[in-house]
Structure formats: structure tokens, C-alpha cells
Homo-oligomer: A and B are copies of this chain.
Amino acid sequence: MSSCGSCSSTSCSSAGGEAPKGKSAKTLMQDELISSTLEKIKYKLFIMSGKGGVGKSSVTVNTAAALAKLGFKVGIMDVDIHGPSVPRLLNITGGGLDSDRGNLLKPRAYSENLSVVSMDSLLKDTDQAVLWRGPMKSSAIRQFISDVNWGELDFLLIDSPPGTGDEHMTVLKTIPDALCVVVTTPQEISLADVRKAINFLQYAKANILGVVENMSGLVCPHCHEEIALFKKGGGHALAEKYGLPFLGEIPLDPATVVAADIGKPVVDLEEDTPAKVAMLKLADSIANAAQNSLEVVSSAHV
């Protein structure tokens, strides 16, 4: 295999993207807009995982909705350009985004305390596929910050696509104080990809808030016996191995699927299902970890 394929380097400066040679006036202005937007947001939580389908979006909307219920001002920025799930999980698909008098876009409101920006709101037909390559996606993500009137927020949750691609590099580069929440499922095949994600975050010198184990165990709703569908405990063991905080575990629960399909987070359903109880506990634990994490940072700077 010729030079590029056999290269064992994990990062590649020749791979294009946003080479920071000489920034244009437009880019510099956008950088300033981004800084001033981010200054007004207390905690930025970057929800990620190496593997797809582990429930990043579900963890994102439930944590966000739970924090909003506690009275925090919360935003969700969905940087999954090809497969944005957040608007569907909150039943706010389609419909575009309005702009305010300063020509900034207004995020889409789910409730008084929770609003969302997603690629979904910018598509005329939500079944349409977005065929953008890397540099276009990076540019869109920067605009999700520079061109949106997020206002004063306690928490901005950033939902990401699977993998460790252009979207993730752009988020970490643009929001260096993001606190990363790594979501995994318990089985080995998922943990393998999550180890890559942690490796990526460590390489990028990102702040890792901790690990969440989703789809952790299933109790048969009929006979109440435990079913080891995706096993249990793998995320906990992973967190220990890497010396990372373990933030919580969410069981498999048919209520999660029902909630997803009607576009309501389980934490906003009436019934106290196993997933709802676990998600509320997780939100609490994430909020505490975020608050402690910044206390540690600021005390270290004193």
C-alpha cells in the first residue's frame, strides 16, 4: 500500500479541513462571534461515543429535559449532520428556524427552558439525505454557534454522530472547554469502539467528564427475570480501567422506544419506568460532575 495507507500516524495534517494558515477576515469575525456566544454558556457537554446506536441522542434529550425540569436553561446543538435524531425525539421535526432582528437564528423551543438547533430544521424535506463532505460539515457546525442566538444558558448539550470524524474534531477545536460524556453499551464490541473514542479525546487533550452505560440489563416485563441481552457492567469496568468517573447506567426498557416514537423524553412521561428513574438520576450526576469539574478548574487557577 502506498504512503498514505501504510502511514501509522493517527492524525494527518494533509487530510485537509480547516488548515489554520492565514485566517481570512471572515473567519476571524466568525471566531469572535463564536467566543462571545460561548462566553454566555456555563457548561458545554459533548455527548459522544465511538459506536453508533448506543443511545447518545436518547441520553442527550433525557439529560437535557431533566435539567430543564430542574429550572436550568438548556440548549441542545445536534451536530449529527447526516442523521439528526434530536428533533424527532422531541417531536419538533421540520419547520425551519426563525431569525431575530440581529439576523441571528432562534433555536427551536421544546419547552420554556429547552431549545434545539439541528440540521433537521434546515432541510425542506426531513427524509432528504445530506451529502456533505467533511469541510462543509465543519463549516455548518461553526455556524450553529456563530449564527445562532443561544442567549444565556446553564447547559449546552452537543449530540454527535458516531465515530471520531470531522464533526468531533471541529467541536473540540471550536469549544475547547467542552466536557465530554462518553456513552457506551455493555458488550465488548461496543467497548472496543469506545476505547478508540477515549483514546481520541485523550489525544485531543479534551476534558472527559465520565462514562455512561446505556442499555444496561433488561428485566422481562412478563416474568420479571433478568435477560442478559447486551450484558451489564462493561461501561463501569471501562471507566475504572481508564480512571474515569462512572456517571450512571440506564437499563433497556420498552418505555424508551415508545417515548422515542411519540417524540417525548422518558423523563417527561407520567409513569415512573425503570429508564425514567435511571435517566433522572443520571442528569443529577452529570450536573454535579459538571459543577465540580469547573470548580476544580477555577480553584486550580487561583
**Which of A151-159, A190-198, A265-273 lies at the interface?**
A190-198
* In contact, B161 and A163 (Cβ under 8 angstroms): yes
A24 at interface, CB cutoff 8 A:
no
* In contact, B221 and A223 (Cβ under 8 angstroms): no
A2 at interface, CB cutoff 8 A:
yes
User: With contacts A143-B1, A254-B229, A257-B231 known, is A195 near B105, CB below 8 A?
Assistant: no
Q: Residues 130-146 of chain A: 1 if any B CB is under 8 Å from the residue's CB, otherwise 0?
A: 11111110011001000
Within 8 Å by CB of A140, from B5, B16, B82, B139, lies B5
* In contact, A130 and B222 (Cβ under 8 angstroms): no
Q: Residues 36-57 of chain A: 1 if any B CB is under 8 Å from the residue's CB, otherwise 0?
A: 0000000000000011111001
Cα A6 to Cα B96 in complex, Å, equals: 10
Q: Which of A179-196 contact B (CB under 8 A)?
A: 185, 187-190, 192-193, 195-196
* In contact, B218 and A229 (Cβ under 8 angstroms): yes
* In contact, B222 and A133 (Cβ under 8 angstroms): no
Q: Which of A203-229 contact B (CB under 8 A)?
A: 203, 218, 220-223, 225, 227-229
**Which of A67-75, A107-115, A120-128, A282-290 lies at the interface?**
A120-128
* In contact, A139 and B5 (Cβ under 8 angstroms): yes
User: With contacts A187-B257, A229-B254 known, is A163 near B221, CB below 8 A?
Assistant: no
* In contact, B231 and A227 (Cβ under 8 angstroms): no
* In contact, B122 and A6 (Cβ under 8 angstroms): yes
A10 at interface, CB cutoff 8 A:
yes
Q: Determine the chain B residues whose CB is within 8 A of the CB of A221 once the complex forms.
A: 227
Cα A172 to Cα B218 in complex, Å, equals: 39
* In contact, B147 and A5 (Cβ under 8 angstroms): yes
* In contact, A261 and B139 (Cβ under 8 angstroms): no
Q: How many copies does the complex hold?
A: 2
A12 at interface, CB cutoff 8 A:
yes
Distance of A197 from chain B, by nearest CB (Å): 7
A292 at interface, CB cutoff 8 A:
no
User: With contacts A131-B10, A134-B133 known, is A50 near B83, CB below 8 A?
Assistant: yes
* In contact, B16 and A200 (Cβ under 8 angstroms): no
A165 at interface, CB cutoff 8 A:
yes
13 further A-B pairs in the complex, CB-CB below 8 A; given A5-B140, A220-B222: A4-B139, A4-B143, A10-B128, A10-B131, A15-B133, A50-B82, A52-B83, A82-B162, A129-B199, A134-B135, A220-B223, A222-B225, A229-B229
* A-to-B contact residues, CB < 8 Å: 1-2, 4-6, 8, 10-12, 14-17, 50-54, 57, 80, 82-83, 85, 88-89, 105, 122-124, 126-136, 139-140, 143, 147, 161-166, 169, 185, 187-190, 192-193, 195-197, 199-200, 203, 218, 220-223, 225, 227-231, 252, 254, 257, 260-261
